[in-house]
Amino acid sequence: MERERVIVSAVSFSLKQTCPDSSARLGELVTPHGTVPTPVFVPVGSQATVKALTPDDLKSLGITTVMANTYHLYLRPGIEVIEQAGGLHKFMGWPGVMMTDSGGYQIFSLARLRRLDDQGVTFRSHIDGSQHLITPELAIRFQESLGADIIMVLDECPPLSETLEGVAAATERTHRWAERCLRARTRHDQALFAIVQGGLFPELRRKSARFLSTLDFSGYAIGGLSLGEPGAQTDDMVSEVVAQLPEAKPRHLMGVGSPNDIINGVSRGIDIFDSALPTQVARKGALFTRKGRLNIRNAGYRRQDGPFDPDCGCYTCRNFSAAYLHHLFRSQELLAYRLATIHNLYFMTGLMKSIRKAILSGSFGSFRDDFLAHYRPTDDGVRLVQRERWLKAQSRKEANQE
């Protein structure tokens, strides 16, 4: 009887328009904390903050939605602390729409610190080495306590190096956990998204999308991509999945934040993107432009009196020279991170507005082609190197706990 229980979500999605020359679509996501036009980019604030910015900064930049991470908040400050504060919105002073990830990816990235079975995942904290168990039911309970508008199932995210048999087993476990998450939910004012897995195996991706589409989820996320694989493979897997998903439900591509990848995702019918990439690279001095990412640390900016990007209307480019921003980074001044983050998120919100405008006018195909013709992406080799550096950093964290 419990499995037949239906909870009508207060979060709804409506499809407004599709594009005649691609699968791009215009939609609207209505939640208790605001209405979100889609396609939309969602910055990641894992620990209840988008680093270097205040909620007022985010609102002024046109950010409608922020994603926090249940794994990080569970470990610090603790779910009960946030619950006693009145929920995540009040705790972080953010009046807009909130999403939370279950933390599955973060847990599974700490390979040597966890073990899993059908019950759930047992892991050691990367902070103090303490041992914890998270089950699908607990993942839902924690996210309901946090009170985000959109929450995620607990899933298993296998590494790219996993075998076909290993990915198949992880995908089946993800399906069983998704069913348990669905049965465990109690709140009507939150949307619960399933997460499609399947690695880089097309048949597993199709199978996962088809199975999860038979269940009563409010939306469908695509996980386990943008982990260092070539962009063309990401695009292929997205196309395989989207073809199996219900048209009337929102589609979320997790962990994708490069402008060119977003353009390609929109072209394949994706509605929601989340990533820490724009804010992470900003703190390293990499700033977005229509030509690609440029590094303000480079010596060529040392004497540039004008703005970093003359075509940009963000607070940073309107008020400060490239030379000043270069100086802040070279001097390791904290203001550098704030100004660079403002610029990158302004770029991202502007990009999404332009995408929505192009879909509305029926010209997304030409907009996409023009954008990609002028934008120089980070090549796949560099992406892989960056990913390997991140994995090594995670390994060092693990070693410190042993």
Pick from 97, 85, 79, 82: nearest CA to 10: 97
Pick from 40, 53, 177: nearest CA to 99: 40
Indicate if the pLDDT at residue 40 is higher than 50.
yes
Inter-residue contact 17 to 356 (CB < 8 Å): no
CA dihedral over 10, 50, 54, 346, signed as positive or negative: negative
Indicate if the pLDDT at residue 399 is higher than 50.
no
Q: CATH 3.20.20.105 spans which residues of the chain?
A: 8-104+136-276
Inter-residue contact 212 to 171 (CB < 8 Å): no
Non-local (6+) Cβ contacts of 219 within 8 A are: 13, 150, 191, 193, 194, 249, 250, 251, 252, 272
- What number is the average pLDDT over the span 336-354? 98
Q: What is the pLDDT of residue 398?
A: 43
Indicate if the pLDDT at residue 1 is higher than 60.
no
Average pLDDT along the chain: 93
pLDDT (tens digit, 9 = 90+) per residue, 124-145? 998 898 999 999 999 999 999 9
DSSP letter assigned to residue 286: E
Q: What is the CA radius of gyration of the chain?
A: 21
Model confidence band, residue 385 (pLDDT cutoffs 50, 70, 90): low
Which residue has better confidence, 394 or 47? 47
Cα–Cα distance, 225 to 256 (Å, whole number): 8
- What number is the average pLDDT over the span 352-370? 97
Which residue has better confidence, 392 or 317? 317
Model confidence band, residue 104 (pLDDT cutoffs 50, 70, 90): confident
Cα–Cα distance, 345 to 275 (Å, whole number): 11
Alpha helices in 147-286 (DSSP H): 164-184, 202-213, 231-242, 259-267, 277-282
Task: Using a pLDDT cut of 90, give the percent of the chain over it.
Answer: 86
Cα–Cα distance, 40 to 353 (Å, whole number): 9
Q: Is domain 8-104+136-276 given the CATH code 3.20.20.105 in the classification? A: yes
Residues designated catalytic = 101, 274
pLDDT (tens digit, 9 = 90+) per residue, 189-209? 999 999 999 999 999 999 999
Indicate if the pLDDT at residue 248 is higher than 60.
yes
What region does 198 belong to: left with phi over 0, alpha with psi -120 to 50, or beta?
left
Indicate if the pLDDT at residue 109 is higher than 80.
no
Cα–Cα distance, 23 to 268 (Å, whole number): 5
Q: What is the pLDDT of residue 108?
A: 73
